[in-house]
Amino acid sequence: MYRKAILATVAVALSVSASAETIAKNYKDSGYGNPISPCIFCADPTALVCDGRVYVYGSNDHQQFIKNGKKGNNGYGDIKSLVVFSSDDMMNWTFHGTIDVGKLCSSWGWRFAASWAPSVTWRETADGKREFFLYFANSGGSIGVLKASSPIGPWSSPLSKPMIDSDTPGVKPCNWIFDPGVVIDDNGTGWIGFGGGDPLSTGSKLMPGNSRMAKLKPSMTALDGNAVNLPAPYLFEASELNIMNGRYVYTYNTSWSDRDDWSSYEKRGGYQAPSACSMCYMVTDTPLDPDSWQYRGEYVPNEGNFGMGWGNNHTHLQKFGNKYYLFYHSTLLEQTMNTGASGFRSIGVDNCTVDESTQKIDKVTMTKTSVAPIRYLNPFNLQQAETMSTCGGVSYEDFSNITRPASISNLGNDASQNLQIKMAAGSWIMVRKANFGKQAGAAAFMLRAKGKGKMEIRFDDKSAAPVATIEFSSTAMEDHSVNLNAPSFKGVKNIYFVFTEANNVYFDAWQFLDESVNGIEDTSNDSYTVRKTVDLGGRSMTAAGQRGKIVVEQYTDGRGVRHARKRVASTQSR
C-alpha cells in the first residue's frame, strides 16, 4: 500500500534539527571509495558479473569480530559464513547479507569447521538455466561447494561432505587444503586451484610443494581425474584463476621466507624475486602440465599499504565492462575504528591494467580513493537502504527474521528484499553521485520504513541544512511520502539520509519520484526504453489515465537489464 504519511512542500532553508555532535561518526571518509563496506569487516574477496552488476563475496571477519566482543585478535575459527555485496556503479555497494555456510553444511557433521576465502563462478546451461557455484575453504583441511540459481541464492550444499580433502587423488601431501580458485574456460570446462602452507619435508622455500591444480567434472562438484602439483615459487596461499585470451592465469600470495634460492629457479624468466607476501601470477595453455606454467612476476607488491605491515593478502582480478579491477583486503577499516581489535580485514578495489593478448598484469597500488564510478546512481529507481557508499550508526537486521515479502526489490533477489537496517537517532547513510537530471528534478520522495522518526535529506555534507524532511510513524513496514520543491533536486548530488529522531526505526528502501518521463535519460549514463506503464496493481494505463497519479514504469536499460520505478505522472496533457 502506498501510504502518504506527510504531504507538504518543503523549503530548502529548513534548520538543522540535529547538531553535528549528535550525528553518528563514520569510519569511511565520504570522499573515498575504499573499503567497499563502511562498517562490515570482510576479507579474501572473489567476484562475478551478472546482469550488469558485479557481485563480491568474502570471508565474514565481522562474525569473528562480534564473537570476540569487538576486541582481541582475529582467530578465524568462528567464521562460519560468507558476505555478499554488489554494485552496478563501482561506488555505491549493496550489502546482501550473509551466507550461513555452517547451517547449509550441517549435514556434514564433524566435517564442517569454518568457511573462508570463497571463489565463485557461474554458467548458463543449454536449456537456459543459470547455475552458480561457490567454493570455500573449510578451515585448512578441505574445500566445500555450494550451488544456487542466482548470485545471492538461496544456496544449498549439493554434497553431504567436502568436495576435496586429503583423500582426494593427487592431493597428498599438501599442508593446507584450502583457498580454492575456480574458473570455467571458453570450452565450458571447470578448473580449480588450491593449497598452501609452509614447505613440505620434500619441498623447499622456493618450491613449497603445496599448490594443486585440477579439472572439474561437468557437474562442477567433483574432480575429473587427479590433482597435480603446480610449481608456484614461494606459494603460501590465496589461489585464484582467470581466463585471458584463452589462456589460464593463476594468481597467489607468496610466503614470508627469504629469497636466497631465487637464482636456482630456472624458469624465473628475468623477473626479480617477489617480495614477501606479495601477489604473483603464472600463465599456461595446459593447466595439468606442471612444466607448461610460466612465471610472470608480482603484480601487487607488499608495500605496507594502510599500515598492513608485512601481512598477507588475497586478491581477485575481475573484468567488469571493458575494464579490469583488483579486489583485495586491507586493515583500513580496523585502523580507522581503532577499537583495539587486531587482524580484522576489509575489502577494497582498485584499477588494474591488463593486456589480455599477452596476459600482462601491471602492478597495482592499493588506495583509499578506489576507482572512478562507471555510471551515476538513479534516484528514481527503488533503492535498498543497504545500498550506500558510507554511513554512520547503522546496524543490520538479520533478514531471516523478517516476514516475507518485506518489499519488492529492483535487484530481483530474495536477500535484499528482506534485509533492513536499524537506525538510531543520529544514524545516517550516504549514496554518492545520484543524478536527478537537468530538467524535471524530483517532485516527491518515498521512504519505506517502520517505527517512529524523522529523517532529513541533505546534500553533499552530513551536517548541511536539510533540503527536505519527512516524519513518519507506523508499526509495520510502510511507504511514507513527502512532496518536494522540484527545482532543488536537480543535477548530480551526494545524498545523506539523516535520522534526527528514531524510536525503534527500521529503514528498508527509498525512491524519488519525478513529474516527467524525460527525466529518465538524464539520471544515468545509460539509455532507457520504456516498455509499459502500469498502476500500482500492475494494470496497464493509458496516457490520459496516468495524469496526476502514481504510476510504475517498466523499462530496459542499454545493457538489457530490466527495471521498474515509480513516478508521479504529470497533471498536464502531452
Residues designated as active site: 44, 237
SS3 46: strand
**What is the rounded distance in angstroms from the CA atom of residue 247 to the CA atom of residue 283?**
7
Which H or E run contains 562? strand 562-568
**Which cell goes with 145?**
561447494
- Cα angle, residue 397 at apex, residues 391 and 402 outer, rounded to 5°: 140
Give the span between the Cα atoms of 326 and 14, in whole angstroms.
43
Measuring CA to CA, which residue among 165, 220, 162, 171 is closest to residue 191?
220
- Cα distances from 186 to residues 52, 330, 451, 566, in angstroms, run 20, 33, 52, 41
Phi, psi of 20 (to 5 degrees): -60, -30
* Residue closest to 205 by CA, chosen among 262, 246, 167, 245: 262
Annotate 350-399 with three-state secondary structure: EEECEECCCCEECCCCCCCCCCCCCCCECCCCCEECCEECEEEEEEECCH
Contacts with 430 (C-beta within 8 Å, 6 or more apart), sequence order: 30, 388, 389, 390, 391, 462, 494, 495, 496, 497
Q: Pick the closest to residue 193 from 176, 205, 179 (CA basis).
A: 179
How far, in Å, are 200, 207, 256, 305, 521 from residue 259 at the CA level?
17, 11, 9, 22, 57
Phi–psi pair at 148, nearest 5 degrees: -155, 170
Gap between the Cα atoms of 568 and 519, Å rounded = 12
Longest dimension (CA), the chain: 82
CA angle 541, 543, 547 (to 5 degrees): 95
Q: Alpha-carbon distance 373 to 354, whole Å?
A: 19
Cell of 177: 587444503
Q: Which three cell numbers stand for residue 372?
A: 572512478
Q: Are strands 279-284 and 294-300 parallel, antiparallel or unpaired?
A: antiparallel
Q: How far apart are CA 145 and CA 135, in angstroms?
A: 4
**C-alpha neighbours within 13 Å on the C-beta side of residue 563:** 23
